[in-house]
């Protein structure tokens, strides 16, 4: 039986703790001190309160050297992960362990051995369902520890490889969770023996959909790693077929539908008719929105968060290509600078993705597939090229743009080489009466074919079209986030926004996710940046004795510049009149919706209640558009003892001005002016 004083103290703590304390977990002080924890540790490890033992060990702030009491607590945690037999409390303890990376690092190899022993035992024939589920949870935990660098991946890969020959007799409770573990391990470590494991899992009915999905993802990674279009195409088509098969077997697999739609969008980018691209982008938004609506309020383990962020990256790419499609294929009758900017966005689209493997200086698949179409838009139209030449020479927005210069050099290089290879006009091949030069010229030049134009002019148009279709299919890569807490905050915000009626509209929810992510990353950057790197641009963030309070204008301009440098470039406008009867500070435009960002400064009361006074104005700009917006506040109140952390400075306010309208959701992002770290004293004890 568990030591009663420790249990009584835990129950008393849980009954009286506020929400923040429940999230943080109990500390040794809450249960009578470290010695009391050590005395009860072994019994807690075997009890339903195992999760609290993990909290107590994680919140033990003793020095890393650890005294005897600390070592006893740590040993009990390891023994709990080695022998605990209640699945519900085991999975809770494992989830909490992932929030204490310093604890996992401290427990080290003994923890890894305990978890892998549970996983191997779970594969034995006839094992109890609860034990099999515990083993699967342990395996997922080791996956997280391996992908975050807490432990080496070799032992995990060895166990997964050994499971390949044991699948036929392994319990179904383990088999149904293996595909995601194997797929993500393959994604991170590239061990192709894991593909064999996934293929074996196809024979398990309950594991087949997930195994098929992970195999399709492996095909996408293979396409991403491919050195040229000819190698990309087969893997990409295999992936598209794989996603289609998963969706056909289970119509509720919105993840497979999203990736299939993303591939379709890339494939459609080459077509002069932009309708298929827009339809594919709409399907992608709908699939991602539906998936989030279903899963937004459920627990998602940290090791799986990158998949959700990859879907947002796909939305960004689809949005960029959709914006670029019309100027790529149609004449420009007005706004040539906007058309050039849209094409440059697409030209750089591959940089929004991170290749699974990539040699220095080598284009990865997205760039390899997208760039030739953009180049061809200028190769085959001298008017477009003239506008690009003029923009590079005279327009300040483009004169120092690296992508614009790269595009300019590539197009002129193709034209120069093509001209050198042509000795006469051939009415059937390249003149005014023949087929116009296509993207194939640029593609083949990138593949090292120096006389591409001469070779292509001898091919019938039908064969050229077939070659273009073969060469132009696409891939997906993952958006990798480096900060697990930033990703958790984003998930928390999206979960709350999912209750808004407008969130059910894919053309609204998808774009707002992109804007919200960029805003959160802006705050993350500005919380960290110092005077040396930020310079005058971020001087408004630094409070100095005797200085006048900063105006909101520098923050306004800094935030707009941040958005302009990311995936929303060319979609951001400042000081927009006739918005809600007034002038909006910033408006970000998407094809089917636009979102306002109101910028304020606050010198007196920057609390949540104090800032609500500005929510009315922010919501007024949403009267004829999506009922979602952002309020960005420069907090000039006194923070002499330090500022609240990033995660306490972003929240959602709901505004309902009458019973006849739906509530409007305004995300408040508070950016505090702060002293330098060395000038920040410790706050009083609470």
What pLDDT sits at residue 461? 58
Average pLDDT on 26-31 reads: 90
Both tokens assigned to 346: 């697409």
Contacts of 362 by beta carbon, 8 Å cutoff, 6+ apart: 227
The neighbouring-strand residues paired with 602 are 635
Average pLDDT on 370-386 reads: 72
What pLDDT sits at residue 355? 38
Indicate if the pLDDT at residue 439 is higher than 80: no
Half-sphere exposure of 517 toward its Cβ, with a 13 Å CA cutoff? 24
Task: Identify the residue whose tokens are 């923890």.
Answer: 111
Per residue in 502-523, pLDDT (tens digit) is 998 888 988 899 899 889 989 9
Both tokens assigned to 66: 């650890």
Per residue in 45-80, pLDDT (tens digit) is 999 999 999 999 999 876 655 789 999 999 999 999
Could you give the CA distance from residue 357 to residue 226 in angstroms, rounded to a whole number? 9
Contacts of 361 by beta carbon, 8 Å cutoff, 6+ apart: none
Per residue in 174-225, pLDDT (tens digit) is 999 999 999 999 988 989 999 999 999 999 999 999 999 999 999 988 887 7
Phi first, then psi, for residue 670 (nearest 5°) are -100, 125
Phi first, then psi, for residue 573 (nearest 5°) are -125, 145
Per residue in 333-350, pLDDT (tens digit) is 445 666 667 676 766 665
Indicate if the pLDDT at residue 469 is higher than 80: no
Indicate if the pLDDT at residue 362 is higher than 60: no
- Angle of CA points 395, 326, 413, to nearest 5°: 55
The neighbouring-strand residues paired with 189 are none
Contacts of 142 by beta carbon, 8 Å cutoff, 6+ apart: 112, 115, 116, 119, 151, 155, 156, 159
Both tokens assigned to 610: 């104090």
Could you give the CA distance from residue 141 to residue 348 in angstroms, rounded to a whole number? 36
Could you give the CA distance from residue 675 to residue 636 in angstroms, rounded to a whole number? 11
Indicate if the pLDDT at residue 481 is higher than 60: no
Could you give the CA distance from residue 74 to residue 308 in angstroms, rounded to a whole number? 33
Among the listed ranges 115-124, 265-274, 638-647, which one has the minimum average pLDDT value? 265-274
Q: Answer with the residue of higher pLDDT: 534 or 122.
A: 122
User: Tell me, what DSSP letter sits at residue 202?
Assistant: T
Could you give the CA distance from residue 413 to residue 418 in angstroms, rounded to a whole number? 8
What pLDDT sits at residue 640? 76
Q: Answer with the residue of higher pLDDT: 124 or 531.
A: 124
Q: Answer with the residue of higher pLDDT: 681 or 573.
A: 573
Among the listed ranges 143-157, 244-258, 402-416, 654-668, which one has the minimum average pLDDT value? 402-416
Per residue in 135-178, pLDDT (tens digit) is 999 999 999 999 888 999 999 999 999 999 999 999 999 999 99
What pLDDT sits at residue 352? 44
Q: Could you tell me if 62 and 54 are in contact, meaning their C-beta atoms sit under 8 angstroms apart?
A: no
Among the listed ranges 104-108, 163-167, 273-277, which one has the minimum average pLDDT value? 273-277
Could you give the CA distance from residue 356 to residue 220 in angstroms, rounded to a whole number? 10
Sheet with 594-602, edge to edge strand ranges: 572-579, 582-589, 594-602, 628-635, 664-672, 650-655
pTM: 0.62
What separation in angstroms does the CA of 41 have from each of 55, 171, 295, 547, 601? 12, 32, 35, 54, 50
- Closest to 103 in 3D by CA, of 135, 134, 64, 131: 64
DSSP string, 3-34: -HHHHHHHHHHHHH--HHHHHH---GGGGT-H
Confidence of residue 10 (pLDDT cuts 50, 70, 90): confident
Contacts of 607 by beta carbon, 8 Å cutoff, 6+ apart: none
Q: In the chain, what is the greatest distance between 2 CA atoms, to the nearest angstrom?
A: 96
> How high does pLDDT run on average in the chain?
81
Instruction: State percent of the chain over pLDDT 90.
Output: 40
Q: Answer with the residue of higher pLDDT: 410 or 492.
A: 492
Could you give the CA distance from residue 265 to residue 259 in angstroms, rounded to a whole number? 10
Give residue 591's Cα distance to chain centre. 22
Could you give the CA distance from residue 571 to residue 556 in angstroms, rounded to a whole number? 16
H/E stretch holding 499: none
Q: Could you tell me if 601 and 636 are in contact, meaning their C-beta atoms sit under 8 angstroms apart?
A: yes
What pLDDT sits at residue 360? 44
How many CB atoms neighbour CB 116 within 10 A? 20
What separation in angstroms does the CA of 147 have from each of 152, 187, 292, 303, 644? 9, 10, 24, 8, 30
Average pLDDT on 247-259 reads: 87
Confidence of residue 426 (pLDDT cuts 50, 70, 90): very low
DSSP string, 215-244: HHHHHHHHHHH-SSHHHHHHHHHHHHHHHH
- Angle of CA points 286, 287, 292, to nearest 5°: 100
Q: Answer with the residue of higher pLDDT: 261 or 388.
A: 261
Indicate if the pLDDT at residue 624 is higher than 50: yes
Among the listed ranges 4-18, 118-132, 225-239, 503-517, which one has the minimum average pLDDT value? 225-239
What pLDDT sits at residue 117? 97
Indicate if the pLDDT at residue 413 is higher than 80: no
DSSP string, 538-580: GGGGB--TTPPPPPHHHHHHHHHHHHHTTTTTTSEEEEEEEET
Domain boundaries, the chain: 220-480, 485-679
What pLDDT sits at residue 660? 87
- Closest to 495 in 3D by CA, of 300, 626, 253, 281: 300
Query: Helices marked H in 123-189 — which ranges?
Result: 129-147, 154-163, 172-175, 178-189
Both tokens assigned to 183: 């797929």
What pLDDT sits at residue 462? 56
> Is 493 exposed, middle or buried (CB count within 10 Å of its CB: 0-12, 13-18, 19+)?
buried
Q: Answer with the residue of higher pLDDT: 352 or 229.
A: 229
Both tokens assigned to 440: 């194939």
Task: Identify the residue whose tokens are 């009915």.
Answer: 205
């Amino acid at each position: 039986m568990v030591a009663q004083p420790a249990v009584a103290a835990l129950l008393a703590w849980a009954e009286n703790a506020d929400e923040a304390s429940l999230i943080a977990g109990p500390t040794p002080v809450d249960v009578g001190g470290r010695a009391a924890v050590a005395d009860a540790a072994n019994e807690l490890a075997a009890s339903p309160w195992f999760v609290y033992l993990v909290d107590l060990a994680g919140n033990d702030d003793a020095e890393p050297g650890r005294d005897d009491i600390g070592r006893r607590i740590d040993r009990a945690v390891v023994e709990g992960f080695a022998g605990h037999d209640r699945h519900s409390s085991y999975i809770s303890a494992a989830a909490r362990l992932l929030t204490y990376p310093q604890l996992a690092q401290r427990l080290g190899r003994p923890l890894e051995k305990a978890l892998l022993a549970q996983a191997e035992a779970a594969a034995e024939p006839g094992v109890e369902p609860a034990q099999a589920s515990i083993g699967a949870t342990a395996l997922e935990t080791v996956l997280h520890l391996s992908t975050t660098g807490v432990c080496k991946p070799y032992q995990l890969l060895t166990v997964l490889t050994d499971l390949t020959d044991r699948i036929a007799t392994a319990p179904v409770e383990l088999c149904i969770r293996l595909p995601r573990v194997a797929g993500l391990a393959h994604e991170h470590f590239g061990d192709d023996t894991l593909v064999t494991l996934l293929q074996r899992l196809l024979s398990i009915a309950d594991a087949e959909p997930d195994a098929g999905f992970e195999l399709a993802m492996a095909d996408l990674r293979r396409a991403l790693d491919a050195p040229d279009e000819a190698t990309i195409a087969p893997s990409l088509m295999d992936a598209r077929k794989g996603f289609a098969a998963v969706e056909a077997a289970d119509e509720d697999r919105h993840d497979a539908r999203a990736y299939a739609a993303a591939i379709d969008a890339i494939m459609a980018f080459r077509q002069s008719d932009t309708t298929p691209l827009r339809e594919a982008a709409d399907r992608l938004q709908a699939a991602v929105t539906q998936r989030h609506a279903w899963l937004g309020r459920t627990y998602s383990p940290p090791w799986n968060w990158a998949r959700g962020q990859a879907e947002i990256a796909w939305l960004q790419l689809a949005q960029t290509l959709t914006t670029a499609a019309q100027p790529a294929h149609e004449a420009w009758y007005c706004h040539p600078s906007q058309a050039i900017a849209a094409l440059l966005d697409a030209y750089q689209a591959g940089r929004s993705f991170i290749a699974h493997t990539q040699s220095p200086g080598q284009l990865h698949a997205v760039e390899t597939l997208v760039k030739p179409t953009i180049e061809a838009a200028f190769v085959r139209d001298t008017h477009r090229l003239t506008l690009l030449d003029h923009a590079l020479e005279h327009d300040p927005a483009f004169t120092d743009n690296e992508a614009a210069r790269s595009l300019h050099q590539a197009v002129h290089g193709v034209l120069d080489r093509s001209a050198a290879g042509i000795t006469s006009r051939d009415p059937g091949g390249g003149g005014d009466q023949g087929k116009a030069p296509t993207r194939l010229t640029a593609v083949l030049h990138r593949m090292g074919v120096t006389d591409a134009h001469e070779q292509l002019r001898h091919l019938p148009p039908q064969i050229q079209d077939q070659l273009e279709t073969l060469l132009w299919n696409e891939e997906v890569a993952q958006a990798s986030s480096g900060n697990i807490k930033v990703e958790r905050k984003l998930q928390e915000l999206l979960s709350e926004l999912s209750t808004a009626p407008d969130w059910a509209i894919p053309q609204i929810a998808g774009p707002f996710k992109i804007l919200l992510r960029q805003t959160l990353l802006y705050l993350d950057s500005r919380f960290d940046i110092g005077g040396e790197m930020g310079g005058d641009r971020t001087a408004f963030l630094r409070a100095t004795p005797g200085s006048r309070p900063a105006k909101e204008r520098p923050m306004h301009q800094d935030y707009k510049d941040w958005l302009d440098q990311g995936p929303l470039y060319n979609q951001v406008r400042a000081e927009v009149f006739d918005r809600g009867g007034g002038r909006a500070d910033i408006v970000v435009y998407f094809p089917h919706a636009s979102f306002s960002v109101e910028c304020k400064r606050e010198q007196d009361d920057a609390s949540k209640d104090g800032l609500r006074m500005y929510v009315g104005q922010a919501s007024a700009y949403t009267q004829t558009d999506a009922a979602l917006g952002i309020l960005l506040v420069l907090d000039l109140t006194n923070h002499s003892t330090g500022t609240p952390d990033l995660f306490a400075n972003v929240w959602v306010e709901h505004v309902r001005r009458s019973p006849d309208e739906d509530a409007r959701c305004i995300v408040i992002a508070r950016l505090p002016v702060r002293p330098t770290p060395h000038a920040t004293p410790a706050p009083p004890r609470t």
